Amino acid sequence: SPHSSSLRPLQDIRNTVGNIPMEWYQDFPHIGYNLDGKKIYKPIRNKDELDMFLEKMENPEYWRTVQDKMTGADIKLTDEQVELVHRLQRGQFGDVHFNPYEPAVDFFTHEVMIHPVTNRPADKRSFIPSLIEKEKVSKLVHAIKMGWIKPRKPKDDTPTYYDLWAHEDPNSILGRHKMHVPAPKMKLPGHEESYNPPPEYLLSEEEKLAWEQQEPAERKLNFVPQQYRCLRAVPAYPRFIHERFERCLDLYLCPRQRKMRVNVDPEDLIPKLPKPQDLQPFPTTQALIYRGHSSLVRCLSVSPSGQWLVSGSDDGTVRFWEVCTARCMKTLPVGGVVKSVAWNPNPTVCLVAVGVEQSVLLVNPCLGDKLLYGATDQLLESYVAPEEERVQPVQWVTATAEQHGKGVRLLVQHSKAVKQVTWHGKGDYFASVVSDNSNMQVLIHQTSKRWSQNPFRKSKGLVQCVLFHPIRPYFFVATQRYVRVYNLLKQELTKKLMTNCKWVSSMAIHPGGDNIICGSYDSKLAWFDLDLSTRPYQLLRHHKKALRSVAFHKRYPLFASASDDGTVIVCHGMVYNDLLQNPLLVPVKVLKGHTPTLDLGVLAVLFHPTQPWVFSSGADGTVRLYT
Amino acid sequence: MGGLEKKKYERGSATNYITRNRARKKLQLSLPDFRRLCILKGIYPHEPKHKKKVNKGSTAPRTFYLLKDIKFLLHEPIVNKFREYKVFVRKLRKAYGKSEWSTVDRLKDNKPSYKLDHIVKERYPTFVDALRDLDDALSMCFLFSTFPRTGKCHVQTIQLCRRLAVEFMNYVIASRSLRKVFLSIKGIYYQAEVLGQPVTWITPYTFAHDHPTDVDYRVMATFTEFYTTLLGFVNFRLYQSLNLVYPPKIDSQTDAELKPAEGTEYAMDSESYLEKLSALSASLARVLAPAHEDEMEMDEFPVEGETAEQMDARKQEQEALEKHKKLFEGLRFFLNREVPREPLAFVIRCFGGQVSWDKSLCIGATYDVTDPSITHHIVDRPRVEPQVVGRYYLQPQWVFDSVNAKLCLPVADYFPGVLLPPHLSPFVTEQEGDYIPPEKLKLLAMQRGENPDDESEEEDEEEEEEEDDDKEEEEDESEKEEEMKLKKMEEQKTQSNKALPVKVTAGKVRLEDKQRLEQEQQSEEKRLAIMMMKKREKYLYKKIMFGKKRKVREANKLAAKRKAHDTAVKEEKKKSKKARRA
């Protein structure tokens, strides 16, 4: 064409590489091969950006300069070529002379012409009726006659409504409607949803921030309350369709369940208990504080007469107090942590057992009636050693003169540290618990004969505490989770009580002997009725922290528990003689006074033998009396 | 032990439930078909009581349907229609593929369709059941009727929804059963009492929808399909109950009043009727001429076991209701063009008022702006320039608030450009201990017939008293602190006075507040009793108490917020006054 000839320079450097992507030659100095097979080299282009820019600015023909891809040469477009480009851009035909809107000339006209288009005579078959068509028509006619083909019903898209419930039968409820759970209705809007709510319902900045940070499912409101000053200003709610859709999803996807909402008056849930006033006497107020110990007071014991109190502390002393005056009568340094003290329950004997480190000291405090404590000394001295030496698990040692002066009469030396000492009701026997893992944990000693024995052949776990039955020859051994009851006469296990606690800390027995309470480190108190069952009759969870000690009163129906939360809870625990009536347990007083130190609160609790008073000793180094 | 070994999960609850997938397989339906069937038949999953038992020991999250429900679906004739439709689609696709256009036309003509009448009857055996479940149906129809007629769903559906919605609104007007209206930020809530059942629905504000992409319109369309059927039958029955003609016809008298020329100008013939109906300004034709039904008095049958007081209360309630129905009777409203016409016209007409608007705004205008008998002109612009004497210019909130208050509120608060009083929700009934906004208190006083101004002052005083009560406790605490301080000071004094000769001063008798002591004792007793509660009861008790406390806390918070706001407003007022004086 004329254009191409004018495009081509005079020298014919036709590229023979064909219609290929030219970037294949990007990295080569040549751009293809001419007809002779020689390389065509790319024109040298050493213009940088600045040169390009200058050329763009200076060359008036720059806009019509294009690069030939095949040769890499710059070509200036002629006016005709530019015109062609413009036309193509406008979507017109490239050829200027082509007219796309020429008048259309119909090949056939709609007018009936007098002459036929062709000169050919008409076929015969165009004059006679078609047999095939006749067959088809007759088939249709037959089908219509037989009623196989029906005329189309007129279509009516509009639904027709009628009285659907004209004959409604309320009894015709289907079986499935028994299990039918109707969908709950949508929640009705509150004041905060108003377009002009009272100002208190609008969210403050912080609340708004909190709302935005919440998960959409957690939000209490699914919108931010807003105030518009007039109805005109209210915009469309962007989540309207969403909410409808969510409702639809809830209706067909959400599992439904009938939930009975408890509609209880909370006051009705509180059990009706007898009033504490009616259950008096019980300790109510703090009366005395016994100060003197410099470290935590671990153990307490009171004399059977109720006149003296003995306390053992971590500061290595045992102190004797007069109960009514809070006066420290005597201080006995023992040189070790006092784990346990126990006053002999026999009123004719004045003797205190003190568990210190590896030994149990039998101390005559020399308090009260001189005749009484003199008699005790005589009793101890009247011991005559048997002829034949018996093998004993412990050593009985008579106190040295120095110790004798302080009041110590006998030493029972164990192989391991002593945890607990407890007397039998008669006051001759006492039991000691040793922190050991063997069968030597529990030992029973007889003071008058200075004779000890090991009742168990096998260890059944870590023994926490032991207890003598006040009347019958039973012996209670509390391990971590169980309390075992042994018959001492028959030498057999009679019962095993499940405490339902993780770790029993202490145990006390009702003076009647049929009920036991166990305190545990998991802040539970279990009350056992021995006649009833081996499981607790009641588990009381009054304390917030570990229970350290529990105690029964000898005369009044009271028991107390001391805990690490610094409180002593006194409960009324009435046991009826009638075996059919269950014990009545009523908490009557929460006594507070001790200040918890080192995560320890009250360590020991004890009732006065005759009065409705309770002693407690705590980690703050004091002993307190509540009356 | 003799007998066969009992196998697990072969009896009991495990056999009463079926998972969705198994149900689908049993019905031999695809998931979309199953979904559609569930929606139409109102089958929903059930949450079993012991999920693990039902799930055969597994704790995987699964949805369970009742086996009975699924068996009930097995016999549904619509399932066959679904299958027919599937076949139809297959044939159509084939015809398209072969370019057999005549076949396509024929197939399209014979497109299988189904009716939902029997399902409606089955799901709602009695009419009252249907009315109870009308909320969602109405909300959905009102939403669909506002959709643009493009793309999102069939135009016929939208038209049908619009028609049904208009019919229902006309029924509510004719029966005067609207009770409450609420302008929320989401839309307008209406509550009507239809044959003793409260029916609540929400309509969006009339704006173009921004169609969300994360919404499955097929699900919504299926719901709408059912809801339109339900609403159609309900409408029919409702119209019948009022002796109205169904499909509704405009009363011939009023029809004549509406100029026919206007109608043709406004819309095509086919549409103008619906438009006229939806204008809500004309009353409907009745089958029988209204034979003074309204004046007929109901005979009274005293219910047994009902005291005279209860009877009186019921009677009073009835009277109040009648009065409420005729709230706007005799008032003539005119709506300016910027207020939302449909909701206002609907509400006003529901309470017996007459309403009109500019002729160019909508079809069905009955009188002009210049009509001197207009009593209330509803305006929503800051200022109205040429005000006509003899009518109130009010903001639209007045209408809604009056309806909710059941009396025509004083107009002064609602003049154009005035800061409006808060719009309260009529759906909230405050129980004891709940927070009640002061506006509501004022309103309640007004309903009781007391003068609101005096009342507000008294209330203020009361509030102050309450505050005093609150303060008391704090004071007690502060008293204690003071006592402690005094004690300390005394101690210091005694120490400093040690050098001086010992002096004994007369001690003061400490008065013990008996009431307080008693209270303390009681509270301690309660605490002790709570300690003795059983674990389960204690848990329940704590839960209830926690809920109560939270409620109180929330109420207190709202009250405090309100107080802060009020003081801020007062200070601002003072400041502005001072500024004015200066």
Tell me, letter by letter, the H, E, C secondary structure of A328-351: EEEEEECCCCEEEEEECCCCCCCC
Most B CBs within 10 Å: which of A172, A202, A258, A270, as the mutation test of the B interface? A270
CA distance linking residue B217 with residue B213, whole number of Å: 9
Would the pLDDT of B191 be above 90?
Answer: yes
Query: Quick check: bond before A304 cis, omega within 30?
Result: no
pLDDT at B303: 57
Would the pLDDT of B295 be above 70?
Answer: no
pLDDT at B219: 92
Tell me if residue A561 falls in helix, strand or coil: strand
Interface touch A236/B204, C-beta < 8 Å: yes
CA distance linking residue A392 with residue A396, whole number of Å: 9
Quickly count: other Cβ atoms within 10 Å of residue B91's Cβ.
15
Interface touch A176/B47, C-beta < 8 Å: no
The tokens of A236 are what?
């469309």
Tokens 């009833």 map to which residue?
A532
Q: Given CB atoms, is B517 within the 8 Å cutoff of chain A? A: no
CA distance linking residue B94 with residue A539, whole number of Å: 78
- HSE, side-chain direction, 13 A CA sphere, residue A31: 18
DSSP line for B54-105: HTTT------EEEHHHHHHHHT-HHHHHHHHHHHHHHHHHHHHHTT-HHHHH
Query: Quick check: bond before A281 cis, omega within 30?
Result: yes
**Vertex A381, ends A376 and A383: CA angle to 5°?**
115
- Among A189, A240, A255, select the one facing B427 at the smallest CB separation: A189
- Compare B228 and B210 and report the one with higher pLDDT: B228
- HSE, side-chain direction, 13 A CA sphere, residue B71: 9
Contacts 24+ apart (CB under 8 A), A518-522: A518/A478, A518/A483, A518/A550, A519/A547, A519/A548, A519/A549, A519/A550, A519/A561, A520/A546, A520/A547, A521/A546, A521/A547, A522/A546
pLDDT at B95: 95
Interface touch B135/A186, C-beta < 8 Å: yes
Which residue is closest to A240 within chain B, CA to CA? B186
CA distance linking residue B282 with residue B174, whole number of Å: 10
Would the pLDDT of B577 be above 50?
Answer: yes
Quickly count: other Cβ atoms within 10 Å of residue A304's Cβ.
18
Q: Given CB atoms, is B125 within the 8 Å cutoff of chain A? A: yes
**Contact predicate A433/A411, CB 8 Å:** no
Residues lower than pLDDT 70 in chain A: 1-13, 157, 170-178
CA distance B68 to chain A (A): 7
Helix B269-278 and helix B155-175: axis angle, to 10°?
A: 40
Would the pLDDT of B263 be above 50?
Answer: no
Interface touch B189/A270, C-beta < 8 Å: no
Give the 3-state DSSP-derived string for B19-30, with helices as H, strands as E and coil as C: EHHHHHHHHCCC
Who contacts A114 (Cβ-Cβ below 8 Å, separation ≥6)?
none
Q: Given CB atoms, is B157 within the 8 Å cutoff of chain A? A: no
pLDDT in tens, B465-493: 444 444 444 445 555 666 666 666 655 55
Provide the chain B residues 164-193 that lie in CB contact (below 8 A) with chain A: 182-187, 189
| Average model confidence (pLDDT) across chain B | 82
Report which listed range, A321-330, B276-285, B458-467, is most confident. Answer: A321-330
Contacts of B186 in chain A (CB under 8 A): 189, 193, 223, 237, 239-240, 243
- Among B69, B200, B437, select the one facing A188 at the smallest CB separation: B200
Cα-Cα-Cα-Cα torsion A97, A98, A101, A107, nearest 10 degrees, comes to 130
DSSP state, residue B286: B
**Contact predicate A82/A88, CB 8 Å:** no
**Vertex A18, ends A13 and A24: CA angle to 5°?**
95
pLDDT at B465: 43
Q: Are strands B178-183 and B392-394 parallel, antiparallel or unpaired?
A: unpaired
Helix B217-241 and helix B31-41: axis angle, to 10°?
A: 20
CA distance linking residue B558 with residue B556, whole number of Å: 5
Phi, psi (5° rounding) for residue B479?
Answer: -60, -45
Helix B217-241 and helix A240-253: axis angle, to 10°?
A: 90
pLDDT in tens, A482-528: 888 888 888 888 888 888 888 888 888 888 888 888 898 888 888 88
| Residue % of chain B over a pLDDT of 90 | 25
Most A CBs within 10 Å: which of B132, B145, B190, B531, as the mutation test of the A interface? B531
DSSP line for A33-79: E-TTSPEEEPPP----HHHHHHHHHH-TTGGGEEE-TTT--EEEPPH
Closest of B322, B320, B328, B353 to residue B447, by C-alpha: B320
CA distance linking residue A479 with residue A442, whole number of Å: 11
A106 to A99, A103, A109, A110, A111: CA distances (angstroms): 18, 10, 6, 9, 11
**Contact predicate A316/A334, CB 8 Å:** yes
pTM for the whole structure: 0.68
CA distance B91 to chain A (A): 20
Contacts of A176 in chain B (CB under 8 A): 66, 68-69, 72
Would the pLDDT of B266 be above 80?
Answer: no
Would the pLDDT of B261 be above 80?
Answer: no
Tokens 């602190």 map to which residue?
B481
Query: Which residue type, as a one-letter code, is found at position A293?
Result: H
Quickly count: other Cβ atoms within 10 Å of residue A426's Cβ.
11
CA distance linking residue B358 with residue B368, whole number of Å: 7
pLDDT in tens, B234-245: 999 999 888 888
Phi, psi (5° rounding) for residue A547?
Answer: -85, 135
pLDDT at B466: 44
pLDDT in tens, B500-540: 556 677 777 776 678 888 888 888 888 888 888 888 888 88
Would the pLDDT of B380 be above 50?
Answer: yes
pLDDT in tens, B80-94: 999 999 999 999 999
- Compare B229 and B266 and report the one with higher pLDDT: B229
* Range list of H helices, A345-457: 370-381, 401-406
Phi, psi (5° rounding) for residue A508?
Answer: -145, 155
Tell me if residue B226 falls in helix, strand or coil: helix
pLDDT at A174: 58
**Contact predicate B407/B446, CB 8 Å:** yes
**Contact predicate A312/A339, CB 8 Å:** yes
CA distance linking residue B506 with residue B578, whole number of Å: 56
Interface touch A234/B183, C-beta < 8 Å: yes
Q: Strand locations in A417-473, DSSP E?
A: 418-423, 429-434, 442-446, 451-453, 465-468
pLDDT at B300: 55
Separate counts of helices (H) and strands (E) for chain B: 22, 9
Most A CBs within 10 Å: which of B154, B424, B528, as the mutation test of the A interface? B528
Name A465's bridge partners.
Answer: A478
Write down the domain spans for chain A.
14-62
Tokens 């205190």 map to which residue?
A352
